[in-house]
Structure 1
């Protein structure tokens, strides 16, 4: 699977651990994140991830900022993007299973790196359930 990842200054350590995990599992990673802890603007890293997923250059995306909110809001500005802010692996599973989320947003200041990697694993391995959820997901987009 091809995964696009982006992060601001709150997430370099998270990105490093997640990229290592993804590569260990055989995934290809497109890295749009910063490696610096100096303040940067999260939209500069969230938009490229959303473009990758939106254009099918990547299968799924992962975005990371301090609260996870700003970068998720940025990604969700894109048509057909469903970025889900998650703080546990169970929420990540439900985001895929019920919402067909295609971008996982991680709040670096409120989760551990271990939790983040567990969320990534859950996000990548949980399929969309479809069925009654498909109609709801179709109503999300403003087309």
Structure 2
């Protein structure tokens, strides 16, 4: 299951991502926000991050205007490795090398077409399990 979280700036793109997940038959849980009314990204970033850390969800996708604020909020939760990606290469690399468990996107930075390619890459790329990468992840978790 995929945890979703956004603020008002990311709400529209989150709806596009929900359409993609439904088309692919991927289960998700939306932790808010639920419309374009002004709201605070830390609230929803942390809720989605806690769902990933607790094991309720396998991975998460976060969206705000730039992706920066909501990724910072999520990364405050121990065990979260949220990566802000604006291109497919970064999404692939962060899964292979960092075993990132959350993807952050900036709705005002990437359009829906590119965002869906990034989401697809993030969700379908496995961690490499390379010893050097695992060692670095372990260092992050200390």
Aligned residues: 141
User: What RMSD in Å do the two structures reach over aligned CA positions?
Assistant: 0.9
Give the aligned partner of residue 15 of structure 1: 14
Give the aligned partner of residue 45 of structure 2: 46
C-alpha contact (below 8 Å) 1:15/1:33 kept by paired residues: no
Task: Provide the rounded CA distance (Å) in 2 between the counterparts of 1:7 and 1:103.
Answer: 13
Give the aligned partner of residue 86 of structure 1: 85
Alignment of 1:92-107 (within 5 A): 92-107=91-106
User: Cα distance, 1:67 vs. partner?
Assistant: 1.1
Task: Provide the rounded CA distance (Å) in 1 between the counterparts of 2:73 and 2:33.
Answer: 16
Task: Provide the rounded CA distance (Å) in 1 between the counterparts of 2:37 and 2:51.
Answer: 25
Mapped pair 1:114 → 2:113: yes
User: Cα distance, 1:60 vs. partner?
Assistant: 0.2
User: Cα distance, 1:105 vs. partner?
Assistant: 0.3
Task: Provide the rounded CA distance (Å) in 1 between the counterparts of 2:115 and 2:26.
Answer: 17
Alignment of 1:18-37 (within 5 A): 18-37=17-36
Task: Provide the rounded CA distance (Å) in 1 between the counterparts of 2:37 and 2:57.
Answer: 27
Secondary structure of the 1:48 match is helix
Task: Provide the rounded CA distance (Å) in 2 between the counterparts of 1:95 and 1:68.
Answer: 15
Give the structure-2-normalised TM-score.
0.96
Give the aligned partner of residue 133 of structure 1: 133
C-alpha contact (below 8 Å) 1:84/1:101 kept by paired residues: yes
User: Cα distance, 1:39 vs. partner?
Assistant: 1.5
Task: Provide the rounded CA distance (Å) in 1 between the counterparts of 2:38 and 2:46.
Answer: 17
User: Cα distance, 1:36 vs. partner?
Assistant: 2.2
Structure 2's unaligned 5+ residue stretches are: none
User: Cα distance, 1:44 vs. partner?
Assistant: 1.1
